[in-house]
Chain A
Amino acid sequence: MKKHRIRLTVNGDESEVTVESRMLLSDLIRHQLKLTGTHVGCEQGVCGACTVIIDGRPQRSCLMLAVQVDGSTVETVEGVADGCIEHVTQVALHEQHGLQCGFCTPGIVMSLVAAGRSGMDAATAKRQVLDGHLCRCTGYVNIRAAIDAAWETVDGEPGSNNPDSGR
């Protein structure tokens, strides 16, 4: 199996790794870079649990090959909090009971972080972004409540991740 040397920036750290042609990005992130916060729920792009931010855009890491991110910047759930300051979406999901088993949560956090940065309003985030994720525990009700709370916390711009808003 052919191997490739690729360079990428993950959560601000530059790394250079060797991967097989067929390796999925989700497997690179989880099993080679050991960032196991990114979860894999279907390997098919349906459930959204594996969502990470690649060059500023939320993407399903299970639908990409590792070699495709050569030269890219990848953000995962491990890099969302700013030191000990949690992102407003993390705070809101916790306070609104927006997660139960937590398996889908990292993907939702990443999509919401990207949505916030893009200037999307809460209603659109609830309608369009959340519909790209499957959650089997919460019935989505409290995730929607968390989106409202997060957007309210930062006056409609959760992308700013105002440190004062964290815990």
Chain B
Amino acid sequence: MRPRHVGQRVPKVNDYGPLHGTGCYVDDIEHPNMLHAAIVRSPVAHGLLTSFDTQPLEEGASVFGPERLRTHIHAELPVLWRVGNQEQFSTPVVDEHLRYVGQPIGVAVAGSRYLAEDTAEAVDLTIDQLDPVVDIDQAMAPDAPLLYPESGTNVIATFEVGDTAKHDDTVFAAADRVLRTRLRIGRVHGLSLEGRGIVAIPGPRGKLTIHTSTQAPHGVRDSVCEVLGLRQSDVRVIAPDVGGAFGLKDHVYEDELMVMIAALELNRPVKWIEDRFESLLSTTHARDDIHEVAVAFDNDGTLKGLRVDGRRNVGARLAVFGGGPLFTTFGLVPGPYRWESVRGVGRLVATTTMSTGAYRGFGQTQAALIRERAVDLVARELDIDPVELREMNMISADELPYQMRTLMKFDNGDYPAALRRASELITGAPDPPDDDRVRGIGYCSYVQMAGIGPSDANEAIGIQIGGFESATIRVEPDGSVRVATGASPHGQGLETTIPQLVADELGIDLNSIELTHGDTDTTPYSAYGTAASRSIAVGGGAAVVASQRLAESIRRVAAEMLEANPADIELVGGRATVAGTHVSVTIADVARRAWQGFRLPEGSNPGLVESFCYEPASATFSYATHACRVAVDTHTGVVEVEEYVVVHDCGTIVNPMIVEGQIHGGVAQGLGAALLEEVVHDDQGQPLSSTLLDYHVPISASMPEIRIEHLEIPSPFTPGGMKGMGEGGTNGSYAAIVNAVCAALPEVDWTDLTTPLSPNRIWGVLHRQS
């Protein structure tokens, strides 16, 4: 059967809502009798809350402070990734020890948001202030104020990934040369355009329905039940239309739990919608790492060893995936090159700032910068062309599968082909205009771990959730099809691409398939939801197998109806046809028969439903080379990305338009982190980037056109051949753009580099140098 839908540029089927104003995001949900919440937050970075006093309240208003909230809390929030000697496996929901500006302390509830904010503002807080610690170096100083005094240190965990110190020393000692560089990865904010939000609706007999802007409804449900002591079957979590997430919405937050507590105690629906100020303060930040990098190499350009001493500012408490991002940085830092040793030593450092958690790339963006900067430094040191140096060290197609020195095996592909083609495209780009800006070309070759799993591999590296995905597919009595997935799309287009996969397996039209997602009552379990570039590789794989099994059932019933052999039945064009004949029945005929249960083949049960829980045999690895040309105005420090090319392989491409859209958006986010975006605090821990005027995300003028070429080498593991790719754009662009800026300004010593390379930072660097 030739694929008909997979590979087609099908426009997204669920665009109508946003285009016409008929979508339903969480703030669009109304409920009779609903109250509105505003959160009371810490105004200081570090202190002890000694009293929380409520003024006489307006009629109908309520306030929940720490004591009242605590009566509903049965457990702390779980941390779902454990590394090294970490001892914090959960974090408090309510805590009088205030550790960052914006920490939720209580919740005010009233008849409108306006009144709720009035009520929250009237709460009187008494706080004994403590000294803040804002950055990694301060927090690790011997006399630093401690966030968790009982532990005696601000270093929450230390861990190692990859080769042993002994092996690493041997490789470094044997190499001709060693270069060192320090990379300071600026703190960023994922900044979905829609903030977080929740409508909590208590029901009879202890039921609770939660509409929340999340990417992981089942994960939210699990944590809510653990914290509030509720039964999972009593709690329904629904993700309505979600206005972007990018990793920020991968768990339930403390303030959201407070809103649920208010709803349960008042026995009224309560809505809370995060505003932008709150979002920039108290939705997880990301990155904020310092990496001391050493690269060992021989005089002929052979890369030998990569050593990274990485410290991550995890903020006031571990985010839900704890040290996972830094672990993943080390895990993927080898990239597409042969090394004799790769070793990462990580420390998670607590400071009085918001937590840093998951954000598109999940540490792989930093991995790409560490490695690709190191490679460029070596090329420059040896005066070898950066592309040539990459190619001579790159794992070739026939060396795959290839055991990384840190984690698992790379699967398949042709890494040098992507590099060579990207190099051709960027060097063949139109000449720049003749102006007085300086120009540089930068590259980034990476291998992205997508489709993370299987479950045993997750457990082995400290992840506390399974690495599978599930699908349930039901052919209705009229032949239309409903696919339920544990994935929870919010812009990725799974409403289109999963049906594309199913349509080909069942030989039916795309329009007859609907995707059910984002509801714990109606979808199969998935701890991840949509995250980690997994949904099409693992979630799609589950849908492919479930539909293949369903196709077998259809063939059996059709064969009975047509008095033929099931092996001779072909499913094409919405019909089950005896091969080589015109004898056929429609899928609707088969479905009707199956749901009537009349004269079914021996051993067949009535109905046409299949559920499959797909445990992947391996993680999948997509890869790419990004290349770009930048122009730097040395008078202003402004960087323009003029040309941009991506040559990538994500296995089978279900929908090229959606894959390209993911690349575009990912490149924009990497560009933002490279050039514009930075969460900044003052020395008291007060956030200075608390509005979109201060936190700069790319606008259209920031973004070049992007030339994309696809290699398409199907995964050897995934049913359907998909590898996953949602985070790749970010991983590639961040390092490619930084490398291009460094290449444009060769006179600068870039061995201590801080991102973003914002205009003021570049201007400062140039000014200092001269």
Contact residues of A with B, CB < 8 Å? 20, 22-23, 27, 30, 34-44, 46-47, 49, 76-78, 80-81, 86, 90, 93-95, 97, 99-106, 109, 126-127, 130-131, 133-144
Contacts and interface: CB of A to CB of B under 8 A. Distances in A.
A102 B243 contact: yes
Contact of B194 (A27, A93, A103, A144): A103
B21 A100 contact: no
Contacts of B192: 101, 103, 136
A34 to B, nearest CB: 8
B244 interface: yes
Nearest to B672: A136
Contact of A93 (B19, B244, B657): B19
Which of B11, B27, B658, B665 has the most CB atoms of chain A within a 10 A radius of its CB? B665
A76 B703 CA distance: 28
Nearest to B115: A1
Nearest to A11: B21
A44 B661 contact: no
Nearest to A127: B701
A81 B20 contact: yes
A49 B18 CA distance: 11
Nearest to B191: A136
Given A39-B243, A43-B276, A101-B192, A95 B665 contact: no
Contacts of B657: 97
B664 A139 contact: yes
B429 to A, nearest CB: 16
B21 A76 contact: yes
Q: B493, B657, B661, B706 — which one has the most chain A CB atoms within 10 A of its CB?
A: B661
Contacts of B16: 94
Contact of B12 (A97, A104, A140): A97
A36 B242 contact: no
A102 B15 contact: yes
Contacts of A42: 276, 691-692
A38 B21 contact: yes
Interface of B: 11-12, 15-25, 27-28, 30, 113-114, 191-194, 241-244, 246, 275-276, 490-493, 657-658, 660-661, 664-669, 691-693, 697-701, 703, 705-706, 729
Contacts of A94: 11-12, 15-16, 19
B276 A140 contact: no
B19 A99 contact: yes
A30 B668 CA distance: 30
B20 A39 contact: no
A140 B668 contact: yes
Contacts of B191: 136
Nearest to A141: B664
Contacts of B703: 139-141
Contact of A22 (B114, B246, B667): B114
Nearest to B280: A42
B15 A142 contact: no
Given A20-B114, A101-B193, A142-B661, A137 B244 contact: yes
Contacts of A93: 15, 19
B305 to A, nearest CB: 36
16 contacts: A20-B114, A22-B114, A39-B243, A43-B275, A90-B19, A93-B19, A101-B243, A101-B244, A102-B23, A103-B243, A133-B699, A136-B191, A136-B193, A137-B491, A141-B705, A142-B660
Chain A's interface: helix, strand, loop or mixed, by majority?
Answer: loop
A37 to B, nearest CB: 2
B193 A37 contact: no
Given A126-B700, A135-B193, A136-B191, A105 B18 contact: yes
B21 A78 contact: yes
Interface centre among A86, A95, A138 (most CB of B within 10 A): A138
A36 B660 CA distance: 30
B661 A97 contact: yes
A49 B244 CA distance: 13
Contacts of A34: 30
Contacts of A38: 21
Contacts of A35: 21
A99 B665 contact: no
Contacts of B25: 36, 39, 103
A104 B667 CA distance: 18
A81 B658 CA distance: 25
Contacts of B665: 100, 136-139
Contacts of B693: 44, 46
B706 A141 contact: yes
A49 B664 CA distance: 20
Contact of A100 (B30, B275, B492, B701): B492
Contacts of B492: 100
A33 to B, nearest CB: 12
Contact of A140 (B490, B691, B700): B700
A30 to B, nearest CB: 7
Given A36-B27, A101-B192, A137-B661, 5 more contacts: A39-B193, A47-B692, A101-B241, A103-B18, A139-B666
Contacts of B729: 139
